Amino acid sequence: MACGEVAPSLPADGLTSERATEMAQPIAQSMSSTPVLFLSQKTGQYRDFRGGALAVPGERWVWAVAFDGTFQQAGGPVGSSPLADQHSVLVIIDYSTGEFIQASVPGPYTPDY
């Protein structure tokens, strides 16, 4: 952030953290071959979590919710060995509505504990 810039404010009309987790969990579970376990969540603007993706404008407010599970990665050349299972997914949903935006395996988000 440049000197003199004001940090964006979190909108007042957002989902609670509990509701965001409730809405993101079925998405994560649909991608996992084992039961998922909630790891962490964080709010921010999409650009903070997108990992290079451009699904929505970068300034859109989102919930980023991380889960542990067993997730298969897509990729690799045709005929190659399958990629190793990953154990985290980051589900990004709209901050106010809970609309699904994207999911990333492995989850690139490392929580601040």
Architecture of domain 17-73+84-104: Roll (3.10)
Higher local confidence (pLDDT), 109 or 103: 103
The answer to whether the bond into 106 is cis (omega within 30° of 0) is yes
CA-to-CA separations, 22 to 65, 86, 98, in angstroms, rounded: 10, 22, 10
Query: Does 75 score more than 50 pLDDT?
Result: yes
pLDDT tens string 16-29: 999 999 999 999 99
Query: Does 51 score more than 80 pLDDT?
Result: no
Query: Does 1 score more than 60 pLDDT?
Result: no
pLDDT computed for residue 34 by the predictor: 93
Higher local confidence (pLDDT), 68 or 51: 68
Higher local confidence (pLDDT), 67 or 1: 67
